[in-house]
A and B are shown apart, each in its own frame.
Chain A
Amino acid sequence: MQFANWGAWVLLPLFAAAILLCIRHTRRGQELFIRRVPGVDAIEEVVGRAVELGRPVLFSIGLGSVQEMVTLQAISVIGHVAKLAARFRNRVIVPVVDPMTIPVIEEVQREAYLSVGQEGFNPDDVRFLSGDQFAYAAGVVGIMARENVGATFYFGTFYAESLIMAENGQAVGAAQIAATPSANQIPFFLASCDYTIIGEEYYATTALLSGDPVLKGSLVGQDIGKLAMLVLIVLGVVLTTYLGAPPAWLSGFLAPKGG
C-alpha cells in the first residue's frame, strides 16, 4: 500500500497515541507488568558460559542494512551483550554484511566497554565479510570454527543462511540464542538454537534487558494496539459470518490505495 487508506488514517494515529501515552505513564514512574521471555533471560547465562569456557561470543545481525528497524534493534542488543562480555574481559565478534553498520557497531561496542571500565575493545572484532549472502554465511561459519566461539547470537533479518550458521554453531558446541521477526526463519532457529525469541518478543528484548521506562511503556502501548486489532478481527469475523459481504463503505474504508 503506497498511500494511507481511511483505516490507516484512523488506526495508525490511535496506535501511536496509545504508545506515547503509555511511555508518558512509565516515565512518571508507573509500574507496568511485562512478562519475562526465557530467551532474553538466558542472554546473561549464555555470555557467562562463554566466559567460563574462555571462548569468545559471536553476534550476527544477519543480512539487514542499517536503514532497517530490525537491524537497529539488533545493534541495541549488541550494546547489552558487549557490556556483559566486557565485564569479564571477553570479546564479542560481530561479522557484518552491510559496511554502513561497521562504525555504528564499533561505537556501540566501544561505549559498552567503557561503561564497565574496560578499554580492551578491539575494532577488528567488527568484521565486514561480504555483501553476498552465502559468502557471508561461509565467513561466519569459518569464524565460528577458527575462534571456537562459546556463544552465538543471531539477531536480525535472516534468510536461507540462518540454518547454515545455526547448525555450525551447534557443531562447535556454542550456546545459541536466535531472535528474528522473519516468520519463515523461526522454524530453523527453533530446531537449531537453545533459545529462540520470535515475532514481537524480538522488539521487546531491549525493554526487558534495560528496564528503560520508555521502552517498557512502548511495549505496553503496542499491546494495546494489538488488542484493538484483535477486537477488529473478531468483529470482522462476526459481521462477515452473519451479514455476508461487508457493506461498500467498510470495504472502501479498508481498501488499499495506490497499489
Chain B
Amino acid sequence: MDKEAPYPPGLLQDWLVRNVFVHLYTWQFWLAIAVTVVAFFALLYAMQRFGSAGRRRLTVVCTFLAGFYYALSFFLPPGHTLAGKVIAGTQTYRFEGESTWLRDQPEGAPEDAPPVPAVRHLAGKILLTQPVEDSDAKDQPEPQEGRDFITVEGTQGPDGSWQLTQTTAGGPRPLAAAERGYSVDLNGVAGTLLLNPAPALNVAKAYETPLGNFLMVMGSFTIGLGVINLLMIHGRTLATGGSGWINSLGFFVGFLGMTVFGLWQTLYKVDPADPTIPFAVAGYRFFFDGLLTPLQSTTFALLGFFIVSAAYRAFRIQNTEAALMTIIAFVVMLGSVPLGQLLTAWLPEDGPASLLRLENVANWLLTKPNAAAFRGILFGAATGGFALSLRVWLSLEGGAYLGKEF
C-alpha cells in the first residue's frame, strides 16, 4: 500500500487491510492456501455445471460490476481539493488547498505490522493577490510567499477538525480555532479562515491500483498458456519432421538456453572489476546481449527499407487522389530540408509573400489540413470506442466470447 496517496482511502479499505489482508504464519498460511485451492476448484466445477447459459449470465454480471466500478471511480468527484476564504475586515481572500493521505508507521514498528489508518493532510495557500491565469503572459514575477500568498498546512483529526499552521518568517504558527473558522495573521492584519464544507470523497479510486495489480497477476499466469502453445506446436513439428523443423529446433535451443541461463545467472553477482565472468552469466549475455538485442535492432532497422518501398508504391500517380498526395508529400519534404527551403529563400521573411516560402507552406499543410484530418479520425475512433465499451459493459455486444453468436 502506498505510504502517501493523492486519493482518499477506499470504502472499507482501512478495515480490509487490518482484518482481511493480513500476514499469516505457520498453519494459518497453509490453511489459507488450501482453502483457496479448494475454492478455485469448486468454482471451476460450479462453472462447468452452470453450462453455457449460466456462464454467460456470470460473465454478464461480472462485466457489468467491473464496468460499474470503473464508471463510479471516474464519475465520483475527486474530493481532495478543499477551498475556502479568509475574511479580514472588509477584505476577502481566496484559500485553495489540496489533500493527501499519509500512513505514518510508528518508529520501530515491525515490517509486517498492520498499516495505521490514513491521516488526511492539507496543504494550501491564502491568495493575497490575484494570480495571473493567462498562460501566454510573459515576464510575470514569480509569486512570493508572504507578499502574494501565505501557506497553510495541517492534518485532520479523527473528529474531523483541522490542526492547521501558517508559515511565517519566524516559522510555523498554529492557527487557533475561532468562531466558525481559524484565526490567521495576514502580515499583521487579523483574519478568519473559513473552510468550505468538505466535499464528498471518491471512495472508489483507491482500489484502482490493487485491482490493476490483481489483473496483472492473473495475466502473468497466462504466459504459461503461451509457452504450452509454443511447445506443442514446435514439439509436434520436430517430432514429425514436418516442414520447417529446423526453425522448431531453433526455438527449443533459444527457449531452453534463455530459460536455463536466465535462471542460472541470478545465482551470481558480477564484480565489474573482476575480469573473470561465470559461465552462467556469459551464457546469459550470449543469448540476451549477443542474440536477442541485435536481432531486435535488425528487425527494427529493416523498417528503413520498407518505408522506401512503401513510399514508392504510395507515390505512384494512378488517380487524382494519389496525384494530390504525391504533390503534397513533395512540398512537405522540400519544405523540411535546407535545399528545398533554399528554393524560396528569395521571398521576404515577413509579410503576405512570406506565406509562399516552402517551409511555411509545409508547416501550414502539416498543422492545418493534416491536423484537422488527424483529429477527425481521432474523434471518430473515440466515439466508436465509447460505443463499443458501452455495448461490452451492458453485454449487448455479439461474439462467441460473450456467448452470443452473430
- Residues of A98-113 contacting chain B, CB below 8 A: 98-100, 102-104, 107-108, 111-112
Inter-chain CA distance A8–B71, complex, in Å, is 11
The CB with the most chain A CB atoms within 10 A, among B74, B224, B292, B311, is that of: B74
Query: Residue of A at shortest CB range from B311?
Result: A191
- Residues of B near A115 (CB, < 8 A) are 405
A3 pairs with B313, CB closer than 8 A: no
- Known A160-B300, A183-B378; judge A222-B386 contact (CB<8 A): yes
- Known A16-B390, A128-B230, A167-B306; judge A100-B385 contact (CB<8 A): no
**Which one, B161-169, B340-348, B394-402, is touching chain A?**
B394-402
- Known A3-B77, A164-B303; judge A200-B225 contact (CB<8 A): no
Q: Which of B77, B398, B401 is the one whose CB lies under 8 Å from A206? A: B398
- Residues of B74-127 contacting chain A, CB below 8 A: 74-78
- Known A16-B390, A146-B244, A200-B384; judge A103-B299 contact (CB<8 A): no
Query: Residue of A at shortest CB range from B312?
Result: A191
Query: Residue of A at shortest CB range from B300?
Result: A134
- Residues of B near A134 (CB, < 8 A) are 295-296, 299-300
B389 within 8 A of A: yes
A258 within 8 A of B: yes
Inter-chain CA distance A103–B406, complex, in Å, is 19
Q: Which of A3, A99, A103, A163 is the one whose CB lies under 8 Å from B202? A: A3
B222 within 8 A of A: yes
- Residues of B near A4 (CB, < 8 A) are 74-75, 77
- Residues of B near A108 (CB, < 8 A) are 399-401
A102 pairs with B379, CB closer than 8 A: no
The CB with the most chain B CB atoms within 10 A, among A142, A188, A218, is that of: A218
B78 pairs with A124, CB closer than 8 A: no
- Shortest C-beta distance, A74 to chain B (Å), equals 11
- Shortest C-beta distance, B196 to chain A (Å), equals 15
Bitwise interface map of B from 185 to 219 toward A, beta carbon under 8 Å scored 1, else 0: 00000000000000000100100000000010001
Bitwise interface map of B from 358 to 401 toward A, beta carbon under 8 Å scored 1, else 0: 00000000000000001011111101111111111000111111
- Residues of A near B386 (CB, < 8 A) are 12, 15, 222, 225
- Residues of B near A203 (CB, < 8 A) are 381, 384-385, 387-388
- Residues of A near B377 (CB, < 8 A) are 181, 183, 186, 198-200
B307 within 8 A of A: yes
- Known A79-B399, A111-B405; judge A226-B380 contact (CB<8 A): yes
A92 within 8 A of B: no
The CB with the most chain A CB atoms within 10 A, among B75, B76, B307, B381, is that of: B381
- Residues of B near A138 (CB, < 8 A) are 295, 299
Inter-chain CA distance A104–B401, complex, in Å, is 6
**Which one, A29-37, A38-46, A51-59, A207-215, is touching chain B?**
A207-215
- Residues of A116-163 contacting chain B, CB below 8 A: 124, 126-129, 131-132, 134-135, 137-138, 142, 146, 160, 163
> What 10 new A-B contacts, CB under 8 Å, besides A16-B390, A183-B377, A200-B384?
A3-B202, A23-B396, A67-B215, A70-B385, A127-B229, A163-B306, A163-B310, A181-B377, A198-B377, A199-B377
List 21 contacting pairs A-B, 8 Å CB cutoff, sorted by A.
Answer: A19-B387, A19-B390, A69-B389, A75-B401, A79-B400, A99-B226, A103-B225, A111-B400, A124-B232, A128-B225, A131-B223, A134-B295, A164-B302, A181-B385, A198-B377, A199-B380, A200-B384, A201-B380, A203-B381, A218-B390, A226-B380
Binding site for A on B (CB under 8 A): 74-78, 202, 205, 215, 219, 222-227, 229-230, 232-233, 236, 243-244, 247, 292, 295-296, 299-300, 302-303, 306-307, 309-311, 313-314, 374, 376-381, 383-392, 396-401, 405-406
Nearest first, the 10 A-B pairs at minimum CB distance are A203-B384, A200-B380, A99-B226, A128-B226, A181-B381, A191-B314, A191-B310, A134-B299, A199-B377, A210-B406
Binding site for B on A (CB under 8 A): 2-4, 8-9, 12, 15-16, 19-20, 23, 65, 67, 69-70, 72-73, 75-76, 79-80, 98-100, 102-104, 107-108, 111-112, 115, 124, 126-129, 131-132, 134-135, 137-138, 142, 146, 160, 163-164, 166-167, 170, 181, 183, 186, 188, 190-192, 198-204, 206, 209-210, 212, 214-215, 218-219, 221-223, 225-226, 229, 257-258
